[in-house]
A and B are shown apart, each in its own frame.
Chain A
Amino acid sequence: MSRLSIQGLTVEVAASGARILDDVSLEIAPGEIVGLVGESGSGKSMTSLATMGILPPGIRQTAGRFLVDGVDVTAQRQRSVESRFAMIFQNPRDSLNPLMRVGQQIARMVALHQGLDRRAAQAAAVELLGRVHIASPEQTARAYPHQLSGGMCQRVMVAMALACRPSLLIADEPTTALDVTVQAQILDLIVELTEQTGCGVLLVTHDLGVVAETCDRVNVLYRGDLVESGPTAEVFSAPQHEYTRYLLEAGRELEVDDGAA
């Protein structure tokens, strides 16, 4: 059974009725990392926001269902702790509360989702920081976001996501703002935790290199339409849709180029 099943998601601008997403469906199996790619304006981020139930004002979902482990959660996504969706974003430092120590932020999630008291939640937060491979978790738990590097902040976000024992992790451009060496570490971490927890991951990215190295399957969005979907190796070696071929060529254009010297 799929961890997440999105069925016929349609999203529009409320005022004009302009379509942002048109009948998008996708499935994520337990322990599977599924890529969602496309260029600026293709609707990638709207798909992740709609799934979380946090579309911006003026944008509305007009059709579509969300099933988690076979249960329809379309109506409860925003309110229910039961939906067990977690999300990490492109700018981890902006996603954290700048005025609160990071350990406390994680502990709040733990308390909310696991019903622990304050002391136990704080201990659990430190343990989670260890699980995301932060070397000195006690010390880091006492730090404020501005005292941490971008990569450290993203690890904290992943720890917060783990606190709610998610069935589904949505990672929206999680490494776009990070250096390549740090990006590699965060991707390794996401892959490792997916293995350990069996949650599904929706990895939203514009970087086809990231998809090639981390995703089991990939979905290609073009102007709100899902134009291609399949196992990563197949899509990369034999893309069916013209737009997918164009994206792959654009990504390889610089790699194969040898005329500069």
Chain B
Amino acid sequence: MIDHVSDIFAFACSDAQWWDLLDEDGETPPEIASEVDREAFEAACAHVAESIQGLLEACLEAFKQRLPVKDARYDEVHRHRLRPEKVRVEQAFWVPISGKDRHLVCLTFEEDWDRKAIRLFCAIYGPKGSIDAFEKAHPTHLPETGREGDAYYASRIALTTGEAFPDVARRLVDAAWPLVESYVDQVAPRRGQRASPRKGSTKS
């Protein structure tokens, strides 16, 4: 079982072109004709797929450990695949808020905003109104955060060769958790706590 960022996994993340080629369903480049090379490429693809799975499992575990035990606003963390045909490799889970619209915390491997390397992102997905209000309260001035469509990116991290998956997961969750918690406070305030004003509300 792979438990750390290997040189090959870090190499795959270093360039979106490598990442695409080493994706789970990646294509063997056309001039790699010999069976030996093909075998090497397939082994690297399998290695990257296992690394992704291992790292995402570690992140899921790290998020579970953060969930408050006696807070009725949270339930079990559920795995959820979000449009797998759109985002090929990802793991998402609900931020489960009873009786409310669906909100997701989603982990994805995506091109960084410079469109070069691949980073591990943690994003909050929710109804547009909720994300709008959250963005208003938390301007995306931090370099690791950003808004895209109905997603608010709470953290993004680079992967370094040799780093253990639980350490990577801890880094990701440490960065994202305050924003996730704040988002949950906004959409499902604790008893006695005021909800954030809705967009367009005339109440002060």
Asked if A pairs with B, the answer is: no
Q: Interface residues, chain B, CB within 8 Å of chain A?
A: none
